[in-house]
A and B are shown apart, each in its own frame.
Chain A
Amino acid sequence: MKRFLGTCAMISAIALAGCGGGAQEQNTSSKSLEGRIAIDGSSTVYPISEAVTEEFRAEHPRVRVTIGISGTGGGFKKFTTGGTDISDASRPIKGKEHQKAVENGIEYIELPVAFDGLSVVVNPKNDFVDHLSTEELHRIWQPGSAVRTWRDVRAEWPDHPIKLYGPGTDSGTFDYFTEAINGKAQACRSDFTASEDDNVLVAGVAGDIDALGFFGFAYYIENKDRLRVVPIDGGRGPVAPSTRTINDGSYSPLSRPLFIYVAKAGLEKPQVKAFVDFYLANAAALAGEVGYVALPSRAYDLDRQRVAQRVTGSVFSGKNTVGLDIAELLALE
């Protein structure tokens, strides 16, 4: 049964990839492509890059692609010293990292490739939490928060202790959540159960009726029956994360863009250029398949434009990107 379902998924994936269009244009002429592509960076973006590589390999079996998981920061460390062609990033490049790239003469092109919707979840047996506002989330998670029980959050809720679960402080997910909710990356109360392994958080919330946790959308989708997702009110009424609400921007402010950064010098290598084209043509379909959400199609067009015109530098860096429309940002250039 598993295999059958898997086969179905595969067939639909191939069909989807076929719809991508761009993929097919090059497939006869470039069988001869070879060489290496070095990718490293965020573990969050990894599943997308892996999926793209897998499909790319079907067309260019002789191109040797390696993908590492050093984290967004670790990936940039290698990228800005010229060690990799492409860097996976779950946040925009930082000013310091950009500085390093400039010093080393590395020019890069910044390409958003998908959305992730940070999902706030509770135990399915918890029946009183109908939604949470960002202000309530802030009161729960702010540094030195006095919230100890659910009643501290909203007066009509029961007097049960609230048990908090979240990703480890090294993760980009934690950075983004704290920036979106508490206004400053890394600013957060410290008395919660933290784990770098999101599966531990899923198990924790699924087994604890008083739990409240947050992590990437993919982990919620894969464990839908063991968790209940909480609609978030960011000022325009409660919205639950879903493929649609993340894609159209209404699930705000907890939707975040995921990036790849491509070295301009790397684009001179035909295999890297082909790979990036392939990536942008298929990211929408493949991101959905691995638990993320596609960007609006206009964003991929703008991405392609940036590659074609070799637009270097970052439009996201140093900006508070929380709740911003991605196409608007890209159009700024």
Chain B
Amino acid sequence: MNALSGDSPGLQRRRRMDRAFRVLCTTMAWTSVLILAILLLDIIRNGTQWLDLQFLQSFSSRFAHKAGIYAALVGSVWLVGLTAVMAIPVGVATAVYLEEYSPKNRLSRFIEVNIANLAGVPSIVYGMLGLAIFVRAFGFGHSILAGAATLSLLILPVIIIASREAIRAVPQSLRHGSYALGATQWQTIRAHVLPVATPGIITGVILSLSRAIGETAPLVIVGAATYVAFLPEGPLDNFTALPIQIFNWAARPQPDFHDLAAAGIIVLLAVLFVMNGTAALIRFRTQRNRPW
């Protein structure tokens, strides 16, 4: 009727579209949450009855009631710890180089494209690489060190990409201010760029370490054992890891072991939760210390 009421058929259709799209997105979001909730509930229902101190402190066994996850849990902690020690310095340093030092030329673009592509390579390929290089050529054997080195390669691209994003997000004015006061490039990076970029870097690191702790395929190739009834004494010891133990239990004929696998998944999720929680804490602390 008049222009102000805005009821032209075109506008009505656009509004309908608007509402429909909103409903669609909301449904999609909740569907994925629902699926996750169902999965978690199922796992918790099956697994909690087996979760106790004995489960955490025992080695694997052919009797479900005696079996525990001790060796796998300790193996996974060793693995993720060593992976972090190897991957974080290399990853962050590479990101700093690419963002702060490297001239923008063909070579650096070539490196960038390669890193982006490596992030998409299937994990089993890294497993083969790890077997050929770390296990055989370097003579690490089927050890934690070989596993951690392989996982480091696997997550390096992700750490590098996330760290570069974080470093790039640091305002240029901060650097200029630092240079204006006579700071060297090293001082600028250490005192201004890295502290400001830390929350973003930590997010990337935790996401990639969370991926590493759940990886099974490359570890199987590198030679993680399935039955290990002792704790590793050093990085060159044999090991097993949480996902391998879980997979082994899930594949057994006895239903009790399937519940045991669920209990193992809860432990794995708990470890992930602790890792993510720590990251959130660090992020919160460092963000609070921002100079502005």
Instruction: Give the B-binding residues of A (Cβ under 8 A).
Output: 2-3, 6-7, 9-10, 38, 40, 43, 46-47, 49-51, 53-54, 57, 64-70, 197-199, 202, 218-219, 221-223, 289-291
Contacts and interface: CB of A to CB of B under 8 A. Distances in A.
B65 A66 contact: no
Contact of B253 (A46, A66, A69, A222): A222
A166 B170 CA distance: 58
21 contacts: A6-B63, A6-B64, A7-B65, A9-B63, A38-B238, A40-B225, A47-B252, A50-B60, A51-B62, A64-B238, A68-B223, A68-B224, A68-B225, A68-B226, A69-B226, A70-B220, A197-B250, A199-B258, A219-B253, A289-B62, A291-B253
B44 interface: no
Contacts of B215: none
Interface of B: 60-66, 142, 220, 223-230, 238, 248, 250-256, 258
Secondary structure dominating the interface of B: loop
Contacts of A6: 63-66
A199 B229 contact: no
Contacts of A54: 61-62, 229
Contact of A199 (B65, B227, B238, B251): B251
A50 B224 CA distance: 15
B226 A46 contact: yes
A36 to B, nearest CB: 8
A47 B63 CA distance: 11
A328 to B, nearest CB: 31
B45 to A, nearest CB: 15
Nearest to B62: A51
Contacts of A289: 62
Given A64-B230, A66-B238, A10 B63 contact: yes
Contacts of A219: 253
A2 B227 contact: no
A46 B60 CA distance: 13
Nearest to A78: B223
A2 B253 contact: no
A3 B229 CA distance: 22
Nearest to B259: A2
Contact of B227 (A7, A50, A197, A222): A50
Contacts of B220: 70
Contact of A65 (B64, B229, B258): B229
A222 B226 contact: no
Nearest to B240: A66
A278 to B, nearest CB: 15
A114 B252 CA distance: 18
B248 A222 contact: no
A9 B64 CA distance: 11
A69 B252 CA distance: 13
B60 A222 contact: no
Nearest to B135: A83
Contact of A67 (B227, B251, B258): B227
A50 B252 CA distance: 13
A57 B62 CA distance: 13
Given A66-B225, A198-B253, 4 more contacts: A2-B65, A47-B252, A50-B62, A289-B62
A66 B62 contact: no
Contacts of A57: 229
B62 A290 contact: yes
Contacts of B64: 2, 6
Contacts of A290: 62
Contacts of B229: 53-54, 57, 64-65
A10 B138 CA distance: 44
